[in-house]
A and B are shown apart, each in its own frame.
With several copies, the nearest count.
Chain A
Amino acid sequence: MTNREKLTMAQALNRALRDAMAEDETVVVFGEDVGQLGGVFRITDGLTAEFGEQRCFDTPLAESGIVGVAVGMAMNGMRPVVEMQFDAFSYPAFEQVASHVAKMRNRTRGRVGLPMVIRIPYGGGIGGVEHHSDSSEAYFAHTPGLHVVVPSTVADAYGLLRAAIASPDPVVFFEPKKLYWSKEEVDVTQAVPPIGTAVVRRAGTDATLIAYGPAVPVALDAAAVAAQEGRSLAVVDVRSLVPFDDETVCQAVRATGRAVVVAEASGFASVASEIAARVTERCFHSLAAPVRRVSGLDIPYPPPKYEGFHLPTVDRILDAVDDLQWEEG
């Protein structure tokens, strides 16, 4: 007997919420349009019907309020999972996240933990108008006290969301919008990947591409093209930005001696900067060339017509790989 099913990432996330709610009645889901509508991306589809309005409900339209109320619920025995409708619409809640979600456990010397999840549909590539395609992970990854997770596969979407809901710590859970409709055969009864682990998605010997979220499929495509051109690229999917899996990432980089970090967000003071800096610190003498970054441009997210120039592409990744000073190596 096999438990494998073909699911989209959106369906897997919905399944994860459903399974968590069925197992643990303290799990509650709320936010804008998550009830009857099932969310603008249908991630919460059917939850109100199945678990009732008490467990999955619409709130007034106010993100700071949503996160703030979740803080209170988490203080008082619940495991809230809240949705920010789009990436950029989490900014009104930033104060609550930075000053409370991230700090409550520390402030209370471990007495008050906040087992809550903030789900954020994120990233570009879907032709969204302004404010609908931001990548805001750096803001959260820079804030101590949060776990920050970004799945890139359907299986990880299910597993990491289950792990996030089960976590005693607050987790900011980024859902790559571009991959919502990606399909995969998965077994959701399989073990959940622990938060804090990266995974090698493709083995390779010449250079390592380090990516997460929507950049992972692009990195894999680049590796496939490079293979045809005779260059063997490894691809590491970071998937947990905080905590960061130095071991897996550095092992891959040391083995190849060259690395490119790939991420959608604007590059300046970003998670990609961090990865480049820490990999260099740890693997300096194994490196034949500086770690390169292929990230979003340092511009406000451009309109749909222009997003192709902004986002990491196979070509841009391969250009960066070409730049890794192969002559001198």
Chain B
Amino acid sequence: MTADPMRLLPSRAPVVLIDAQGEPRPHETYALPSDDELVAAYAGLVAARRLNDQASVLVRQGRLAVYPSSHGQEACQVAAARVLADDDWLFPTYRDTAAIVARGVDPVQALTLLRGDWHCGYDPYEHRVAPQATPLATQLPHAVGVALAARMRGESTVVLALCGDGATSEGDFHEALNFAAVLRAPVVFFVQNNQYAISVPLARQTAAPSLAHKGVGYGVPGEQVDGNDVAALLAVLGAAVERARSGEGPQLVEAHTYRVAAHTNADDAARYRADDEVKAWLARDPIIRLESYLTRRGALTPEKISAATEQADRLAEAMREGLSRDEAANPADLFAHVYASPTPQLDEQARMVADELEREAEV
């Protein structure tokens, strides 16, 4: 209980390194990432936006059951994936498909849940990406456990755990931050504050000066960052990851961003927010500002822009292609993984289902 509270509080305003006009803004603590890094991030943003667009089309075509878009939050998605080393772990939510794909997971596998197939279509160990969590904040204690297990074995793994502004109200958010702080788990908690939890605006979610201010109550440093500025995100999240890796414990990072689309395709955002608000945020788009900054510096050439677009086209093509095929459901799959080996009770139920199908086939 000797932590200096002042060192735990976030900066007064969100960290910005490139502003909405694409102008660089010098910062006393955080340096601008290199042009190369930002050009790579740019390609990531373009791909993420394309993924969001394509997925929304696929929903309308009935190829996906539901899609929670991260349109407008692409800078957060890409930065979350880019600051991690291969051995690190990412803990995503249902809204973080773009981050999952940015980390290397096959997009069709990543969309398995949202197309109404099995709940996690990828191997979590392959890219060290946990299954997408739907019950809010419940993945955060898991992230702490993964980090602790790695540290017990002397590994230098860091875990980046994502959640939304709404999820910070859940008890599991509190418990996870507290466990991480007390047990000094190398976890970076990254809150994408997109201003809404479905229809509920931030002001109904918290009365705190910022969500990043929640850190001090756990002895965890909090930081807030412009969530539409990928440069600031890379700098702030990168520093948090390295701090955690060096054994200094967890950190809380809040990104101020905006959910441009409705909560999911099933939601009607017109019921609870004005178009003007959305428009104001569109002017702060993460891609436009980065493009203008890099173009002005000459780091982003028309060729590089086309390369990024083509890469995004290929991604979209792979999504269309992969999601156009429906594998038939195999009822044996229902029972295969409830336990390492099925109980006698499950065997009995599997036989019942198989019998039914056999008889159906005979008819």
Contact = CB atoms under 8 A, between A and B. Distances in A.
A contacts B directly (C-beta below 8 A): yes
Interface of A: 28, 32-33, 35-38, 40, 54, 58-65, 67-78, 80, 88-89, 91-92, 95-96, 99-100, 103-113, 127, 129-132, 144-145, 147, 167-169, 196, 242-244, 246-247, 268, 297-300, 302-306, 309-310, 315-316, 319
Nearest to A63: B170
Contacts of A302: 334
Interface of B: 65-66, 113-114, 116-120, 123-125, 130-131, 134-136, 138, 140-150, 152-153, 166-167, 169-172, 174-176, 178-179, 182-183, 197-200, 204-206, 266-267, 271-272, 329, 331, 333-340, 343-346, 349, 353, 356, 360
A38 B150 CA distance: 25
Given A37-B271, A61-B136, A105-B338, A72 B118 contact: no
Contacts of B266: 40
A194 to B, nearest CB: 12
Contacts of A32: 197-198, 200
Given A60-B205, A300-B338, A305-B329, A73 B145 contact: yes
Contacts of A145: 338-339
Q: When A and B form their complex, which 3 residue pairs have the shortest distance between CB atoms, in order from nearest?
A: A72-B145, A68-B141, A65-B175
A76 B149 contact: yes
A299 B140 contact: no
Given A107-B120, A108-B124, A144 B338 contact: yes
A64 B135 contact: no
Given A62-B170, A95-B135, A99-B138, A107 B118 contact: yes
Contact of B272 (A36, A88, A89, A108): A36
Contact of A105 (B150, B272, B340): B340
Given A89-B135, A111-B125, A33 B198 contact: yes
Contacts of A309: 329, 331, 334, 353
B136 to A, nearest CB: 6
A61 B138 contact: no
Nearest to B112: A303
Contact of B199 (A33, A60, A71, A167): A33
Nearest to B157: A76
B257 to A, nearest CB: 18
Contacts of B147: 72
Contact of B142 (A61, A71, A196): A71
B134 A68 contact: no
Contacts of A92: 135, 170-172
B183 A129 contact: no
Contacts of B331: 306, 309
Contacts of B206: 60
Contacts of B329: 305-306, 309
B134 A96 contact: no
A181 B88 CA distance: 46
A65 B356 contact: no
Nearest to B155: A76
Nearest to B149: A76
20 contacts: A32-B200, A37-B271, A62-B175, A65-B178, A67-B141, A69-B176, A72-B147, A72-B148, A75-B145, A80-B145, A95-B138, A95-B172, A109-B337, A110-B336, A132-B134, A145-B339, A243-B345, A297-B335, A299-B335, A309-B353
B343 A243 contact: yes
A244 B333 CA distance: 22
